[in-house]
Structure 1
Amino acid sequence: MNPSLLRAYINIAEKPGITKRDTLTIARRMLRTVCQSQKVIYAERHALRRQARKLRQFLPFTAQAVADLEQQAGDHCALELDGIRPVLIAFGQTIIHDREGIAAALGFEGMCDLLNINPVHREQARRDGDVTLQGLAYIARLEDSATGYGDEWGAGGPLYEACHAATINFIRTCPEHLLPDMFAPGEAFGPKLPPELRIVG
C-alpha cells in the first residue's frame, strides 16, 4: 500500500467545498489502491503456501521447511493487512448506510456514471430495485459492470469489497441473539412462505 498516495487522496477529500461526486470518486480510487495492495499480499501468501504443499510430498524429511513456509505465509505483511481491514470496514459502512446522502445528491444516473455501469445493466438494476448506492455497488455488484467478476463469493469491485468487509465484520461482532435467523421461513435460506391469497371482489 502506498501511504503517500492515500494521504494525497485524504488531503483532497478534506478540501472545503468538495462535492458528493468528488467524494465517491475519491472513495473509489482509495479503495482500488487498498484492494490492490490486499490482493498482492494474498497472492504472495498463496505462493508461500503452494511451496509448502509441494514440499509435503517429501514428509517427514521436509516437516520443518513446511512449518517454516506456513508460518511465513501467515506472518507475511500481517501488519499491513491489519491496517487495510479497518479502512475497508469504514468505507463499507459509509456505502451501506450512505449517511452522507451520495445517492440522493447524484441520482441514479449520476451514480451509474461514476460506478461505470453499462446501460443494459442500469435497466436491469432499475427493474430489480437496486437504485441505491448499496444496491448498485454491493447487492447487484455492478461497479465496473463490464468487468464481470463471476459468481465467486466475495468477488466484486472495490466498493463491493468494502461493503463485504463491513458485513463480515458486523456478523462477527454483533451479539448472536441480534442476528436474523437466515434459515427461518421466508428468509434467504429458509423455506419459502406460501403465497398470500386474497379474494378480489
Structure 2
Amino acid sequence: MLIVTPVTPVTPTKTNFEFEIMNQNIVKALAGIMEKPGTTKRDTLAISRRVTRYICQQRRHLLTERHALRRKARKLRQYLPFTALAVADLEQQASDHNAELLEAYRRVLAAYGRSIIHDEEGIAAALGFDQLAALLNINPVHHEQAKREGGETLQGLVFVARMEDSASGFADEWGAGGPLFEACMAGLADFIRTCPDHLLPDPFAPGEVFGPKLPPQLRMV
C-alpha cells in the first residue's frame, strides 16, 4: 500500500532569510546610488551588472525550488489516481511559490533590459569600447570578435554578440548570456507581450537586432 505523506511548503531558514534581507538592502542601496545626479556612466553600468546579477541568481534559486516541487509531483503521478490530491497540492505549491517575488524580479529585469537596449543615457558613447569591454568583463582575446559581432554599442555587445563575461562560454549555448543579456531578454519579452501585434517590428529585418547589417552610408564631403 502506498502511503502519501502530507506535503509541506518550502520555507527559508532564519539564517537564509536574514541573508536575503541583507542582500536586498544592498541592492536597494546600489539602485539609490544610480539615481544620484553625480553618478558616472561607468558607475551606472557597474551597478546595473551587480544588481541584475543578484536578481538573476535569486530567480534561478526560486525556479530551482519550483522545479523540485514539480519533480515530486511527477514522481507521484505514477501512482494515480491514489495520489491525485498530493499531485494537485504540489503543482499548486510550485505555481504559488514566491510568485509575487518572481514577478517583481521580472519587472526589474525588464526595466534594466530596456535601458540597455536603448541606452538613452549614452553610456556606450561616453565610455568607448575599451572601458565597455573592461566593465562587461570581455576577455581581451575576444575583443576583435566582440567588435565584429556587436560593434561598440551596449545592445550589440550584450544582447547581439553576448560578450558579457565572454570567458564563461555563454556564446556557445543558444539563448544563454550574462545578467545584462538576461535583462535584455526580459525587456524584449515584456515588449512583445505588451505591444499590439501590428506595431511589432521584425527583429530579423535588415538593420535590426538579429537582421543583416546595412551597408555604410556614403556621403560626399
Do the two structures share a fold, i.e. TM-score over 0.5?
yes
Q: Deviations over 1:92-115 (max 9, x none)?
A: 010000000100111011100000
Return the offset for 1:4. 0.8
1:107 lines up with 2:128 in the alignment = yes
The answer to whether the 8 A contact 2:149-2:157 is kept is no
Alignment of 1:64-75 (within 5 A): 64-75=85-96
Unaligned runs of 5+ in 2: 1-19, 213-221
The answer to whether the 8 A contact 2:49-2:180 is kept is yes
Q: Which one-letter code corresponds to 1:26 in the other structure?
A: I
Q: Distance in 1 between matches of 2:150 and 2:73?
A: 47
Q: Distance in 1 between matches of 2:60 and 2:97?
A: 13
Q: Deviations over 1:112-166 (max 9, x none)?
A: 000000122210122235321011111111110011124243x211100000000
Q: Which one-letter code corresponds to 1:47 in the other structure?
A: A
Change in Cα spacing, 1:182 to 1:111, as seen in structure 2 (3 Å) is closer
Stretches of 4+ aligned residues off by more than 3 angstroms: 180-185, 187-190
Return the offset for 1:58. 0.8
Which of 99, 103, 106 is the equivalent residue of 1:85? 106
The answer to whether the 8 A contact 1:182-1:188 is kept is yes
In structure 1, the residue matched to 2:45 is 24
Q: Deviations over 1:1-52 (max 9, x none)?
A: 6321112112322344211001100110011111111111100000000111
The answer to whether the 8 A contact 1:92-1:165 is kept is yes
In structure 1, the residue matched to 2:137 is 116
Which of 33, 37, 45 is the equivalent residue of 1:12? 33
Q: What value does the CA root-mean-square deviation take over the aligned residues?
A: 2.5
Provide the TM-score with structure 1 as the length reference.
0.86
Q: Distance in 1 between matches of 2:38 and 2:209?
A: 42
Q: Distance in 1 between matches of 2:144 and 2:210?
A: 27
1:151 lines up with 2:194 in the alignment = no
Q: Distance in 2 between matches of 1:180 and 1:133?
A: 20
Q: Distance in 2 between matches of 1:83 and 1:121?
A: 34
Percent identity for Structure 1 against Structure 2 = 63
Change in Cα spacing, 1:35 to 1:189, as seen in structure 2 (3 Å) is closer
Q: Distance in 2 between matches of 1:9 and 1:44?
A: 27
Total equivalences in the alignment? 190
Unaligned runs of 5+ in 1: 193-201
In structure 2, the residue matched to 1:169 is 190
Provide the TM-score with structure 2 as the length reference.
0.79
In structure 2, the residue matched to 1:39 is 60
